[in-house]
Amino acid sequence: MDTLLRTPNKLEFFIPHFHGFERLSSNSPNPSRVKLGVKKRAVRIGSRSSTSSALLDLVPETKKENLDFDLPLYDTSLNKVVDLAIVGGGPAGLAVAQQVSEAGLSVCSIDPSPKLIWPNNYGVWVDEFEAMDLLDCLDTTWSGAVVYINDGAEKDLSRPYGRVNRKQLKSKMLQKCITNGVKFHQAKVTNVVHEEVNSTVVCSDGVKIQASVVLDATGFSRCLVKYDKPYNPGYQVAYGIVAEVDGHPFDVDKMVFMDWRDKHLDPYPEVKERNSKIPTFLYAMPFSSNRIFLEETSLVARPGLRMEDIQERMVARLKHLDINVKRIEEDERCVIPMGGPLPVLPQRVVGIGGTAGMVHPSTGYMVARTLAAAPIVANAIVRYLGSTKGDQLSAEVWRDLWPIERRRQREFFCFGMDILLKLDLDATRRFFDAFFDLEPRYWHGFLSSRLFLPDLVFFGLSLFSHASNTSRLEIMTKGTVPLAKMINNLVRDRD
């Protein structure tokens, strides 16, 4: 819903660790989701066949588009120690580079494709980007959103939503970085070697860059940031297309945040049975009456659903909604690890975004949260660089990024994820029926990571009071163990 790492078409992402994938240890340009490569097949969408492979016929060959920028390059002959070396040129990395360089510090951004336009679709609440002065980076906005609980119930959400113009966002960030004197180096990073004061970033082209601080912004590849606990997250899995269609049944003034209806699966009892156990929903952004982004999404499951299963459900849904796809502009296969442990806190390499465990464990959202955290990381680096060095400097930055209140908030979100993992379709519907009946400050705050303890406690109590008796019973029976786990973790986690 809010996605870069390419793999073969077989879905090896069910393996708990992401190590071993193609480009996994590279500098991923996107910290918010994993995007899987597309394998073309000679089949046709809109045919009588209901197989998921029909979706791939109109998928164009992937075209990489680069921005027309003359990037100032890091001069390797000077052997200069920079204040900050950032590994990864996604939104998180560029945001920190921009803000640290504004303070007059020297910054080097290292990425194998520094001018490549991010290929994925980001959706955000407009108020999130407004707070960061990024409204000019939204190419389409909707006055609100709608949630279809079932065929007889829907929720109108009076909260404007927008799609990020990724070309504009990256252009804006790069231009500010260039103006501020950021230097760029086009390569992958293979290792980092730490000394008492500085660290040396080793690149795939043999270049070594010394820096006072190293920031890992490579996304879920966890290129440099270390973890010391078993990694067993839930997975949000989605297949999406930007398509030209003959028409669609949705209001172009509202985006479809969630559509949990399943009548489209009536002709396919086996698929409907699978969906009743691990449901998927439609997420849609209608740009006009004949152009739309459609994405079939599994909110969270462990292990994640197979991509073929999600495509099969999507084909059935489009057929039921009488949406005839004439042309596909682009498609994306996405896997978002949700929850799991935080990295070792603190450690010498600083992280931000997916590599630092910043994805929302209950929703999969991260772009707005990461961009909002960039000033925190940048300000900490600027503030502490003059007075501390090495391990102590990194520890101070990690402390500002993950203070106790943020760790407690994440623990509560993981508790929410653990409950969602246990809900079937009917229970999920009941859950969101109550969730979107809450006061806007509660569901807004939960989705945008703005609620902290004790507000999250009041959120939980309010959700419980709005839930049906059946849903309350489900929350109590399926949430008891996760609740005990959360309380135990909260008690043990102290500054």
Q: Give 10-residue mean pLDDT values along the chain (495 residues).
A: 38 30 31 38 37 67 86 94 97 97 98 92 96 97 98 96 97 98 97 96 97 95 88 94 96 98 97 98 98 98 95 95 94 92 96 95 93 97 94 97 97 97 98 98 97 96 97 95 96 87
pLDDT at 237: 97
- Assign 470 to helix, strand or coil: helix
pLDDT at 12: 33
**Backbone φ/ψ region at 46: left (φ over 0), alpha (ψ -120 to 50), beta:** left
Give dist(CA 311, CA 325) in Å, integer.
14
Taking the CA atoms of 431, 432, 438 and 443 in sequence, report the sign of the dihedral they define. positive
pLDDT at 124: 97
pLDDT at 52: 52
- Decide: 314 and 264 in contact? Cβ < 8 Å: no
pLDDT at 55: 64
pLDDT at 53: 56
User: Six-digit token pair at 62?
Assistant: 């992937």
pLDDT at 154: 97
pLDDT at 41: 34
pLDDT at 386: 86
Give dist(CA 202, CA 195) in Å, integer.
13
User: Which amino acid appears at position 64 of this protein?
Assistant: K
User: What are phi and psi for residue 367, nearest 5 degrees?
Assistant: -60, -55
User: Six-digit token pair at 150?
Assistant: 């079932």
For 169-174, the CB contacts below 8 A with 24+ separation are 169/91, 169/118, 169/134, 169/137, 170/67, 170/91, 170/94, 170/117, 170/118, 171/67, 171/69, 172/134, 172/136, 172/137, 173/91, 173/94, 173/95, 173/97, 173/98, 174/67, 174/69, 174/71, 174/94, 174/115
pTM for this one? 0.88
pLDDT at 54: 60
Establish how many alpha carbons lie within 13 A of residue 389's alpha carbon, considering only the half-sphere containing its beta carbon: 9
Taking the CA atoms of 442, 464, 2 and 60 in sequence, report the sign of the dihedral they define. negative
User: Six-digit token pair at 341?
Assistant: 């442990």
